[in-house]
Every structure is written in C-alpha cells, then in structure tokens.
Chains A and B, each alone.
Chain A
C-alpha cells in the first residue's frame, strides 16, 4: 500500500482528496434547499397576488355568502380570491397589514378597528341571528340566575355573543363577575362542554348545532330572544380599496347581497355548498339552515347606523371601549338594494 506513493509521489492535492466530506455535506444541503423550493412552488398552491380582490373569512355559517357566491357566480370567481383564516387576531393583523382588501369580521372588532383609526368601512352584514346559548345537559341551568358560579365560554371578548351574554345576565340581575367567563375557539366548545370543562357557551353556528346533534347540550336561548335581529359578523373594506376599485367593490357588494336572497330560497342546497367548502359534515349545516327559517337569516344584510351605534354603546357599557367610535359605513349598498 505504501508502494503506490513511491511510484508516483507527485500527486496533486485535489486528486488525493477528491472531495472532502464537509464539502459533500454542504453540497447536499444546497441541493436539498433547491429541491424543496422547487417542490414547494410546483406542488403547493400559493397565493396569486394578482389583481383579484382578497377577502378573508372564517369557516362559520355567518360567512356563508362567500362559498355560495363562489359556487354560483362566475364574475365572483374571476375577480375575488378568498382567504381562509383560523383565528380573528390573524385576520386583524392581515387587514391592518393591508394583506387583505376586505374581510368578514366580528362587528365589535370592526368598531374597535375604527376606534384605532384603521381606515376601513362597513359595507355588508354576514347574516342575522345564527347564535345560541348552549348549556350542558349535566348541569341544571334554566335561567340567568342559575349561571352564578358557572364557567361559560365565549368566542372572544370583542364579539356580539359576549355582549348578548352580558345583556342576558344583567336581565336576570346577575353580575358578569359572578360568572367565570373564558375565551375559547368555537371548534373546541362542544368537546369542552362534553368533557365538563365548561358548563355553557354562547357561539355562532354550526357549533350550537353540533352540541345538539351530539346530544351533549341543549340550546337554552336563541340569540334573537335576547337581541332581536342579532348581528354577528359584517364585512369591512379598506378605504384605499374603496377609492381605487370602487366599481369592482360596488359590484361585489351587489353579488354578495343577492346570494343572501338565493340562500333564503335554497336553504338545503346552500347548506351542502357550505359544508363542502368549509369541510364540515353535511347534516350539521342542513340542520342549522333548515330546522327553523329564523335560526339563521340572510335578509336585511344592509348595515344600519343605529344598530351599529347600539353595539358601540354596549361595548362602552361592558368596558370594551372608552367611547363610541365614529361609525363609518359605505353607501355601496345602494347598488345592492337595487
């Protein structure tokens, strides 16, 4: 083995050490990043940052207008890109960061955005009613007084659900401080009720129906019993977009508004569309939409100043805001109501 080098001792450095292991490792690491990047951009559908309007939503029945429009309206598909979120805070960051042109969002959040001088306007409501106060079957809860000392879940403090719960409790002369309020993501509420982690919750559909179908909770009150013509989510648009894409925006409001009318007359079909799009079980949404016509209502979706100011008043009363912010509406609904 030594002889090899006596025969030809003049061997250049590079031939003796063809490639160092470190260099090979670096090369492999480089090839990997090239590979995974190419894979990512071929396999994974990414956001097309085109000229389309970008609208955010959450998979809840309050935002059903969007999937129905996607299913039924070609104009909508040509001009709008929908972006699914899984939490309200992310959505807030996105609209503040101008990643979204418009979004469906909880009414109190919209008001607090206006309070923070975020340049947005309210253009449309998501739906009316569609919320329920659910209590565990194991607990003996029949009226507001029974809520003393119980644990009750709300989706987020800045929600009309929270305000409605406060109204309900104060009607029964129960202080909010007598009840243990917890914020919980809506999908977790039914299982938390089953496991006994919470005693009751107030939330939008379909998470009321889920507890009903699983037979773990009963709806104590429909929200409209507490707050007639209840508003949960509404759609806000950035001022800049209203200025730059006025015509497009007006048309969009019109399209969405007309979907509401269609849903009212095709409830089961709309439920199927929503279930497929949100990835929810069919029977759940069919139950929500068809059990009772007033359970969720897709009429009267035009925002009204007095209703929103009332929400603002309630927010001030329950210490979510210091004062009622100027309520900024967009009159594009004139096209919508045409």
Chain B
C-alpha cells in the first residue's frame, strides 16, 4: 500500500477552554492543527511519526485511516482517495484495547471474524496466539496477564485481520523499559514476517530509529513536516555506530534536545 499525503490541512473549531492549548486558540476560533503536509510512504514500509505531544500525530493517523476527514488536501492510498474507514486498517491504541471481559482467545477471535470456516478460524487464532508467544495463556483474562503480554495479545488480534495497514499509536508508551525493548525487537520480527505497511507513533527517538524504515519528524502546532528521513539499515541496529549516530544527533537537535541526554 503506497500512501501519499498531499497538501493536507486540518482545522478544529475550538469549543473548550483547554489549558493545554491556552493562548493558542481562543474558544470559538478555528485552530489549525496540521499545516500543508506532504509526504509519501512506500508500500510495506515501517514508518515512525515523532513529534512533540499534542502536535496532531494521532489526528493525522485517524485521517489516513479514514476515521476523520481533512479540512483540505487529500490522502491517496494506492492512488485512491480514502474517505471511509476500512476493516483493512487496524489500530493498536496506547491504552489497553483488549476487552477485559473476554479471554485472550476470545479477544483474538474478534479479529478473526472474516474467517468463516469454524476449524480454520480456531486454527488461525491459536497460530497467532502462538506467534506472539502467548500459547498456554489463551484461556486467561487480560487482568491475569502482564502489561507486555496484553500488548502482545493486542498485536495478535490486529495481525489476524491481515490488515493492509497497521496503525500503532504509542503502543508501548505505558510499558516498563525492559519490556519496551523486548517489544521493539518483536515488532521488527513481525514486520519482517508480514509484508504490511506499519504506521507507528512514538515519542521515543531511539525507538523510531530502531524500528523505522522511514522516520517523519513533526513540528509543534500547527504541525509541519520538519524532516523525512529514510533509514535503509539492517536490523538489529546499533544507534551508537555511524552513520546512525549522526542521524540520531540530528533528530535530537531537530526536536530541540541535546543528544547526550
């Protein structure tokens, strides 16, 4: 799936008194979130969006997925303008998106409803649970699992749909450091295994550089594309070695940070 974003703009009508945007957008006025975005994502690539919080990355993702509409400009997916949400676009949210009243097996089954044959479906579900390393836990409820395991179950539920595009909105934000590193590694493997386009929002520059084939850096509101970096390096990547180390320093500077942090 080749995704092309052309001259994309998004404005909100600010209704609330929000402390977050105080001074930027008085209530009742139009507030521009995304400004003249232009970029292109290659089919089957792993693309990371990074930028300051509140800059509109999630809004952009929702527009690409068809859940929201742009104020002007367009999004072309394989040359076609996308307007309605499609079940081929699957999200993994930052918060826990597993249904807590269903077992892991039943949760994954939610994503497998397109498989009509009973036995084949059961087989597929087990296969995907196995793939994310949760075999033996399929009868467990989410509250019986650790944070990392819950994320993996969610990934399994998304993968079984065999989506064209997998949208991940800060999926590992709530995990502890070690689990995050493990999940990164697993995501690289998943991407290698399934030839699908992945859009991945993160705040973590290192995470973006570890994972992405392409990293797009956004500015603060109204968001513009500050940098569009192609990373054609094999995995696993060593961020300390050149030329990745140089790219890492540049991204840090772009976001107004010191790389030695």
Using a CB–CB cutoff of 8 Å, the interface residues on chain A facing chain B are: 1-2, 5-6, 9-13, 16-17
Contact = CB atoms under 8 A, between A and B. Distances in A.
A12 B123 CA distance: 8
Contacts, number: 33
A5 B130 contact: yes
23 contacts: A1-B136, A2-B136, A5-B126, A5-B130, A5-B135, A5-B136, A5-B138, A9-B126, A9-B127, A10-B119, A10-B123, A10-B126, A11-B122, A11-B126, A12-B118, A12-B122, A13-B109, A13-B118, A13-B122, A16-B105, A16-B122, A16-B139, A17-B105
Nearest to A1: B136
A5 to B, nearest CB: 5
Interface centre among B105, B106, B126, B139 (most CB of A within 10 A): B126
Given A2-B135, A12-B118, A17 B106 contact: yes
Contacts of A1: 136
Interface of B: 103, 105-106, 109, 118-119, 121-123, 126-127, 130, 135-136, 138-139
Nearest to A15: B122
Contacts of A12: 118-119, 122
Interface centre among B106, B118, B122, B130 (most CB of A within 10 A): B122
Contacts of A9: 123, 126-127, 130
B216 to A, nearest CB: 40
A16 to B, nearest CB: 6
Give the 7 A-B CB pairs with smallest separation, nearest first. A2-B136, A9-B126, A2-B135, A10-B123, A1-B136, A13-B122, A12-B122
Contacts of B109: 13
Nearest to A6: B135
Contacts of A11: 122, 126
Contacts of B118: 12-13
Nearest to A11: B122
Nearest to A12: B122
A272 to B, nearest CB: 65
B153 to A, nearest CB: 15
A6 B126 CA distance: 9
A287 B21 CA distance: 91
Nearest to B137: A2
Contacts of B105: 16-17
A13 B121 contact: yes
B121 to A, nearest CB: 7
A165 to B, nearest CB: 67
